[in-house]
């Protein structure tokens, strides 16, 4: 059963929507994240020459708890007498003259207590003031970044006690607060263009975004909601980028009400983001992409965007303007990168033009066939929380409907389990933790378990009921730069071709051992997530006893793994062939 059959089995989901709402000819605006009023006043015209014609207006009020009139250090000056108000007016007047746009950006930096009425009186008061500031200074619209309290979007966040409320009560309250917030802004600034980011998975963050679209749809707000996505600046495969954008579209077409779905199609859009000169939050000025990669991906973003796309300028603001080139650490000339952003060339490759046309028509079935990828809810360990993931199209043809249904239930506040689908190996011997000087050295150093599995003091453990991942933090405590070893024995009753499928956080080495030999069948160094079947290794088993040894090295935070053995289609092997 292909993915398109899944889409037909879920009544609220439409496989192919043959409208032209997303077909567009005018190039999208390029938004810079981000700039202060002073930077816009100084650089707006140069940015326009370099291809940027919109700004997230920043450094005025950081987040929801701020008094926007006090950030000039004179809280008694309000409105036109406020220093930041004056600067914002000047910046916006410059932008209007040159055809650029601005969006006052506010973040969620501190946790929100959804059940605290007094706190929410303050939240709504502040957002009303933010909206007044944005409207009266001449901003095009408003932007809310909900990223920085991401932990509390998960139902298992430690701050949720569930003593006087259930998950469903929590969802109801989040919807109520989110509706109040967006309506507070809209009532002040009804013609605003509204931006929000980053994209959210199956969590309360998605509940917030869905609610905002539902409320704007009730009013048929003219500016729409434009969904600025971040994960695209870590994707280099253009087919995966297109699948990811289509997948975000599918989420809203699946979970919105009919009225809001119509509004989403007519007034809203997806704005992919790119980080031209970086992949990590370091102090250097590196190039995360080659110029060839940037040219291809940037053209793709321009061609696949309806109204906006955006550039992340962390640690490269000056370099993107061609300034302070001496600090640039890339192997290619900085000017080559600047020229790509300046020229803003759309996709010229005919095969990708065809795929973009399918994206614009929302012909998701045909797009998936062309890209070879699909997008669906998938568990991410070690908590096994469902997240949306891109995946090879044919890897899970037996499971698409099951995974989407699990995602829907989870978003409604129900407990879910992926155990029956994945059937992981649950009984393990575990040893650790082991440390070297740092993450890399720990990964590379040989510790006793990989030298002799029989000379190791192993702990016998089982994965928790209905879970598919082993959480090593629960076993050893939070350990940064540490490794642990996991060993399982399997008995093969007859020769068979199979696949070893596993996920890991972070770095990993995997050995397959029998009485004749010990083979390192996979090694990866870097950060990763415990995604089932992230790596698939084909193997041929002879009759006999085998051991699978894993070395899992943690960099920071989450630490764990999952592993299963299947046939070529991902189905578990029957007990007459293999026993654990």
To 10 degrees, what angle do helices 204-219 and 258-267 make? 80
β-partners of residue 498 are 539
Show the tokens assigned to 2.
């292909």
The residues, any chain, with a CB within 8 Å of residue 570's CB and separated by 6 or more, are 395, 396, 398, 399, 499, 501, 533
> Can you give the pLDDT of all 580 residues of the chain as single tens digits?
222 222 222 233 333 444 444 444 689 999 999 999 999 999 999 999 999 999 999 999 999 999 999 999 999 999 999 999 999 999 999 999 999 999 999 999 999 999 999 999 999 999 999 999 999 999 999 999 999 999 999 999 999 999 999 999 999 999 999 999 999 999 999 999 999 999 999 999 999 999 999 999 999 999 999 999 999 988 999 999 999 999 999 999 999 999 999 999 999 999 999 999 876 655 666 788 899 999 999 999 999 999 999 999 988 999 999 999 999 988 899 999 999 999 999 999 999 999 999 999 999 989 999 999 989 998 998 989 898 988 888 767 667 778 888 999 999 999 899 998 899 999 999 999 999 999 999 999 999 999 999 988 999 999 988 899 999 999 999 999 999 999 999 999 999 999 999 999 999 999 999 998 999 999 999 999 999 999 999 999 999 999 999 999 999 989 999 999 999 988 899 988 888 8
Q: Give CA–CA dist 326/282, Å, rounded.
A: 17
User: What domains does the chain contain, in order, with CATH numbers?
Assistant: 27-348 (3.20.20.80), 421-579 (2.60.40)
Show the tokens assigned to 575.
């007990």
DSSP, res 511: E
Residue recorded with tokens 């590379």: 444
Residue recorded with tokens 């600090």: 327
Indicate the SS3 state at residue 380. Answer: strand
β-partners of residue 456 are none
φ, ψ of residue 210 to 5 degrees: the values are: -60, -40
Q: Give CA–CA dist 295/145, Å, rounded.
A: 27
pTM: 0.86
């Amino acid at each position: 059963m292909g993915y398109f059959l899944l889409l037909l089995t879920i009544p609220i989901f439409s496989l192919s929507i043959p409208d032209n709402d997303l077909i567009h000819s005018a190039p999208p605006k390029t938004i810079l994240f981000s700039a202060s009023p002073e930077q816009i006043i100084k650089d707006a015209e140069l940015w326009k020459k370099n291809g940027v014609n919109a700004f997230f207006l920043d450094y005025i009020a950081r987040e929801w708890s701020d008094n926007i009139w006090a950030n000039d250090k004179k809280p008694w000056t309000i409105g036109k007498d406020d220093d930041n108000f004056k600067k914002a007016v000047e910046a916006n007047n410059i932008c209007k003259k040159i055809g650029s746009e601005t969006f006052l950006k506010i973040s969620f930096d501190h946790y929100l207590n959804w059940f605290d009425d007094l706190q929410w009186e303050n939240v709504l008061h502040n957002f009303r003031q933010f909206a007044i500031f944005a409207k009266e200074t001449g901003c095009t619209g408003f932007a809310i970044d909900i990223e920085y309290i991401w932990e509390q979007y998960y139902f298992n966040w430690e701050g949720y006690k569930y003593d006087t409320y259930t998950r469903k009560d929590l969802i109801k309250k989040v919807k109520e607060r989110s509706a109040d917030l967006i309506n507070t802004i809209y009532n002040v600034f009804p013609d605003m263009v509204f931006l929000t980011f980053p994209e959210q998975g199956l969590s309360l963050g998605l509940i917030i975004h869905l609610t905002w679209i539902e409320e704007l749809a009730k009013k048929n707000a003219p500016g729409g909601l434009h969904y600025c996505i971040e994960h695209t600046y870590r994707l280099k495969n253009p087919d995966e980028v297109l699948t990811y954008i289509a997948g975000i579209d599918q989420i809203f077409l699946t979970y919105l009400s009919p009225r809001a779905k119509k509004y989403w199609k007519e007034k809203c859009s997806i704005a992919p983001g790119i980080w031209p000169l970086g992949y990590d939050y370091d102090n250097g000025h590196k190039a995360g992409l080659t110029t060839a990669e940037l040219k291809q991906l940037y053209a793709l973003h321009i061609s696949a965007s309806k109204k906006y796309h955006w550039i992340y300028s962390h640690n490269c603001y000056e370099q993107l303007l061609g300034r302070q080139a001496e600090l640039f650490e890339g192997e290619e000339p900085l000017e080559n990168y600047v020229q790509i952003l300046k020229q803003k060339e759309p996709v010229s490759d005919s095969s990708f033009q065809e795929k973009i046309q399918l994206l614009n028509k929302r012909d998701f079935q045909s797009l998936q066939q062309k890209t070879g990828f699909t997008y669906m809810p998938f568990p991410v360990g070690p908590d096994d929380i469902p997240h949306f993931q891109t995946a090879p199209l044919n890897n899970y043809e037996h499971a698409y409907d099951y995974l989407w249904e699990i995602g829907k239930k989870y978003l409604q506040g129900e407990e879910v389990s992926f155990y029956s689908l994945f059937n992981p190996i649950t009984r393990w011997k575990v040893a650790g933790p082991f440390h070297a000087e740092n993450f890399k050295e720990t990964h590379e150093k040989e510790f006793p378990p990989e030298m002799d599995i029989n000379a190791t003091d192993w702990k016998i453990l089982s994965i928790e009921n209905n879970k598919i991942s082993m959480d090593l933090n629960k076993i050893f405590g939070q350990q940064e730069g540490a490794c642990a070893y996991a060993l399982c024995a399997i008995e093969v009753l007859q020769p068979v071709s199979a696949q070893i499928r596993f996920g890991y956080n972070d770095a990993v080495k995997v050995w397959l051992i029998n009485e004749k030999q010990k083979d390192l069948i996979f090694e990866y160094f870097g950060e990763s997530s415990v995604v089932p079947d992230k790596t698939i290794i084909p193997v041929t088993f002879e009759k006999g006893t085998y051991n699978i040894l894993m070395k899992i090295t943690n960099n920071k935070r989450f630490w764990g793994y999952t592993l299963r053995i299947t046939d070529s289609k991902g189905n578990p092997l029957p007990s007459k062939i293999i026993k654990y």
